[in-house]
Amino acid sequence: MTDLRERVLTLIPGVLDDLTTLVGIPSISSMPEHHPDVQRTADAVARFATDLGCPDVEIVSEGGQPAVIARFPAPEGAPTVCLYAHHDVQPTGDKELWTSDPFQVTRRNGRLYGRGVVDDKAGIAVHLAALRAFDGKPPVGVTLFVEGEEEVGSPSLARIMERHADKLAADVYVICDSANWQVGTPAFTTALRGLADVVVTVDTLDHALHSGQYGGAAPDALTTLVRLLSTLHDADGNVAVPGLDSEPPFALEYPEDRLRAETGLLDGVEFMGTGPLADRLWGRPSITVLAIDCTRVADASNTLAPSAHAKVSMRLAPSQDAAAALAALKQHLLDQAPFGARVTFGAEESAGGSLVALEGAVADAAQAAYSDAWGTDAVEVGQGGSIPLVGLFQSAFPDAHVLVTGVVDPDSRMHGIDESFDLADFTNACVAEADLLERLGRS
């Protein structure tokens, strides 16, 4: 391990240079004007694999954004490991709020900053470091799989996996797109919540009315919508929709003072819900009103609005059937409609969560590799966010082992302003993945 660590450490400056190149490409998959940039990052990743001597590199697209599949052959008798990451990123938001240019990597106080630097171009860099540690000839077969539309829900990923299943088949999948417990403590994600959302419309009138003439008798749509949305939680903030599942309690405790600091909760504001925070974040459903459409404040008049709309989003217990959860939400909204208002539904989507068992020889090798790299035991965590591709891998390759890792930490602000990662944790992740490949090759 000492020799391997030293080998990886010598590679880190070059890997960070290549990460800087990737971050410099604004590969925002949600914005059509940046689709050429998404192609540029795919080209760059393919070039990195080719430069490593990979004999089988291709860029595939099945109606969506390009993905890179690069296959390094397995030595005789060795297993094959698929290393996953994604090369697309979120929009920057207001660039004026960033401390530095979001598409120019900046180093400050032991952290690296930039849009996509941790979500998930760091994942690509970790994989490159592990492969370079063996000069492109790893002790196991490796399939580097880097997709380009994770930030928009991976709409073509299922087609890619179906049409290229022979190339993506592996014994172990390492998904480097998740978070560690904290800076200095590695983690494997073993529970991921699912997702379901829907646009709900409330109609109460067939035309707008003067609020002074008819207010107090005729219900306006916005007030009615607000009353309807208030039924989604009980007085303590627990989700009140019947038919939603919860997972058994998690062993890990989430300190309240840490969560207050991470979230920037204002003085005097209390957390929603009851029970252990880890359970609320990882194993129970949550409901958020993402947006409301009605009259803008700037355009307000003394009028009863006839119609109002909201987008309602749920995070689901990892084992919850997403379609059933969405149906339960819609039924609740229909049942709770105030004043007999008309409730209808628009655009909707759902994706199941995942439970990832961390057991067996592969898990033992992973825990040893990551614990050795950090010098402290790796822990198991859940994630409140959704990574639908985990479930896709589990369904497509049910006999394979799935490991969900990453370099995100509580200060990373992925999707937000000043996205970043801790350089020491990044280095440890590179060492750990290389060590894992070596251990799997020996086994």
- This prediction's pTM: 0.90
User: What confidence score (pLDDT) does residue 385 get?
Assistant: 77
pLDDT at 198: 98
The answer for residues whose C-beta is within 8 angstroms of residue 365's C-beta and 6 or more apart is: 436, 439, 440, 443
pLDDT for the residue numbered 384: 84
Q: What is the pLDDT along the chain (443 residues), one digit of tens a residue?
A: 679 999 999 999 999 999 999 999 999 999 999 999 999 999 999 999 999 999 999 999 999 999 999 999 999 999 999 999 999 999 999 999 999 999 999 999 999 999 999 999 999 999 999 999 999 999 999 999 999 999 998 999 999 999 999 999 999 999 999 999 999 999 999 999 999 999 999 999 999 999 999 999 999 999 999 999 999 999 999 999 999 999 999 999 999 999 999 999 999 999 999 999 999 999 999 999 999 999 999 999 999 999 999 999 999 999 999 999 999 999 999 999 999 999 999 999 998 999 999 999 999 999 999 999 999 999 999 998 778 789 889 999 999 999 999 999 999 999 999 999 999 999 999 999 999 999 999 98
Chain segment 20-60, per-residue pLDDT in tens: 999 999 999 999 999 999 999 999 999 999 999 999 999 99
**Nearest-CA neighbor of 423 among 170, 112, 127?**
112
Strand order in the sheet with 379-383: 354-355, 187-192, 379-383
Three-state DSSP state, 41: helix
Which helix (H) or strand (E) element contains residue 426? helix 423-442
pLDDT at 289: 98
- pLDDT given for residue 276 in this prediction: 97
- Residue 410 to residue 238: CA distance in whole angstroms: 24
CB 314 within 8 A of CB 329: yes
